[in-house]
Amino acid sequence: MTRSSPCEDYLTLAFDEIRHFGSNSVQVMRRMRAALVGLAEALPGQERVEAVRNYLEHLDRVIGASPFDVEDKRMARQEDRQGIGLSRQSDAT
């Protein structure tokens, strides 16, 4: 059994239910990506940043396996920091 880091535990606590129950919402995925990208940019320490990046990769796998069509998957992989459904960020893919 692999032991998780405290940072991974916090990510699980903060985001797992949102990811699970919001997985059918493009906008929830966009806002969650924005929160995680912002967190990775703000966190000190490579181990913490790596934990966030791993969580982002997990989120992208969830989006990839979702029933969203191709356009919705593309949109779900764009961060939406303002929560208004618009993004100036390029695709994460």
Cβ neighbour number for residue 68 with a 10 Å cutoff:
18
Residue 84's nearest CA partner among 34, 21, 39 is 34
pLDDT in single tens digits along all 93 residues of the chain: 567 899 999 999 999 999 999 999 999 999 999 999 999 999 999 999 999 999 999 999 999 999 999 999 999 999 998 877 665 554 444
Structure token pair of residue 48 = 């913490």
Question: Any idea which residue has 């969650």 for tokens?
Answer: 32
